[in-house]
């Protein structure tokens, strides 16, 4: 690797470190008291939040709002969470020490629960995506399912963190979910919790539909695990003799920005991958290196559960005309969060930037529209057919022919 490439790798690493490093507190003594903890959270948001108007409000009013009522850490936690909620940003959130510990474990590659990613949209608690080969997926939960009740209690007004706390639990115990699927009556699912090993990549044949023998199929279910990039590269090596590659990002809720950048770099030579813009309008652009892992033709599958890092990867490949996108419009999360660890073990996720695709497109709340829009209905699944995958194979075979002719 040349010196220029090494420096580029370093710049990408430093950018990732800034975005996802655990931010240390510069003066722990100031934040060891419950009131100090609250004040530190206020300062972090005041300094870093992407919208410097803090949702069109006077942020100063929050600084001493709870001085007379914060007596212990639990009071501080409630006060911080209330303050954060005023931003109207579901991605900027406060995590208690327990919640932050569980998040850290999931990044390391394991967690205990049923294996679903959840989020709140328009006041509804939704399943963004079930992880592959987990109790949630085996029970039949799907992207866009709305969770109405958890163990008999309504989810109206619930936060993502509170819902996750109720759904998680010791291995072998059960949780009961009342789920509403579009066009169907609510249904109760009783699911046994398990230890979830977060393997991000699968090269197994899909459960429904069929992939042509001359094509490779890589299912990337999450960008969260630190092992995701290595797993993906090994999958590309496994399929190096195939004529083309299908990358399935359907129901992939995202994860680490670093993983999206490194995987995009495997396909792109000296191209823009993503740009980020902060509250001051400063734009930072990440480019790929000149070397690639593969030149094989690529088709990417997405749907409404494809979010965040999935949209960064598919947006980079689409805008650079490196891949053709098939499926349904993606979720539409175009914001970058930084993790700020507080001295008591709690943490703040703060939205510090928005990201743009290589063409300068802001996809937040809009999503990425596929080149070929194809539905996958419940009737299709019941009939063991996958028209999205079939279209991907058809389109990829056309690209294989063009690639072979060009060669």
Contact 309, 262 (CB under 8 A): no
Q: Catalytic pick from 106, 221, 251, 308?
A: 308
Q: Catalytic pick from 319, 346, 354, 391?
A: 319
Contact 323, 399 (CB under 8 A): no
Give the number of C-alpha atoms closer than 13 A to the C-alpha of residue 278, restricted to the C-beta side. Answer: 13
> Euclidean distance between the first and final Cα of the chain, in Å?
26
Q: What are phi and psi of 270, to 5 degrees?
A: 55, 50
Pick from 76, 71, 75: which is nearest to 42 by CA? 76
> Active site includes 319?
yes
> Active site includes 86?
no
Six token digits for residue 29: 């003594």
| Those residues with Cβ within 8 angstroms of residue 123's Cβ, 6 or more apart along the chain or in another chain | 156, 157
> Active site includes 43?
no
**244 pairs with which residues across the strands?**
215
Q: Catalytic pick from 93, 242, 271, 333?
A: 333
Could you write out the three-class secondary structure of 104-142? HHHHHCEEEECCEEEEEECCEEEEEEECCCCHHHHHCCC
**281 pairs with which residues across the strands?**
none
Which residues are the active-site residues? 308, 319, 333
């Amino acid at each position: 690797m040349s010196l220029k490439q090494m420096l580029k790798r370093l710049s990408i690493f430093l950018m990732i470190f800034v975005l996802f490093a655990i931010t240390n507190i510069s003066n722990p003594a100031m934040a060891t008291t419950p009131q100090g903890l609250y004040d530190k959270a206020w300062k972090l948001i005041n300094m870093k939040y992407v919208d410097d108007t803090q949702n069109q409000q006077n942020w100063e009013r929050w600084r001493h709002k709870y001085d007379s009522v914060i007596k212990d850490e639990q009071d501080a936690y409630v006060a911080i969470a209330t303050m954060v909620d005023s931003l109207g940003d579901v991605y900027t959130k406060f995590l208690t020490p327990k919640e932050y510990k569980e998040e850290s474990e999931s990044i390391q590659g394991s967690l205990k629960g049923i294996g679903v990613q959840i989020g709140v949209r328009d006041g509804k608690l939704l399943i963004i995506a079930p992880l592959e080969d987990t109790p949630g997926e085996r029970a039949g939960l799907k992207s866009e399912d709305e969770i109405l009740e958890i163990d008999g209690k309504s989810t109206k007004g619930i936060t993502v963190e509170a819902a996750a706390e109720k759904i998680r639990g010791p291995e072998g115990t059960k949780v009961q979910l009342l789920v509403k699927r579009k066009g169907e009556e609510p249904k109760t699912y009783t699911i046994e919790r398990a230890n979830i090993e977060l393997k991000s990549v699968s090269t197994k044949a899909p459960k429904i539909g069929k992939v042509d023998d001359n094509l490779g199929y890589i299912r990337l279910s999450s960008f969260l695990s630190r092992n995701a990039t290595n797993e993906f590269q090994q999958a590309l090596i496994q399929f190096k003799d195939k004529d083309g590659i299908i990358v399935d990002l359907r129901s992939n809720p995202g994860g680490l920005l670093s993983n999206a950048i490194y995987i995009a770099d495997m396909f792109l030579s000296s191209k823009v991958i993503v740009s980020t813009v902060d509250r001051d309008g400063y734009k930072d652009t990440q480019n790929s290196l000149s070397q690639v892992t593969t030149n094989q033709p690529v088709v990417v599958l997405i749907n409404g559960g494809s979010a965040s890092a999935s949209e960064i990867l598919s947006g980079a490949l689409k805008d650079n005309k490196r891949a053709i996108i098939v499926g349904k419009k993606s979720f539409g999360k175009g914001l970058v969060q930084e993790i700020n660890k507080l001295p008591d073990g709690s943490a703040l996720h703060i939205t510090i930037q928005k990201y743009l695709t290589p063409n300068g497109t802001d996809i937040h709340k809009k999503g990425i529209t596929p080149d070929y829009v194809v539905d996958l209905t419940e009737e299709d699944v019941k009939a063991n057919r996958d028209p999205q995958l079939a279209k991907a194979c058809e389109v990829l075979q056309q690209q294989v022919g063009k690639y072979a002719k060009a060669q």
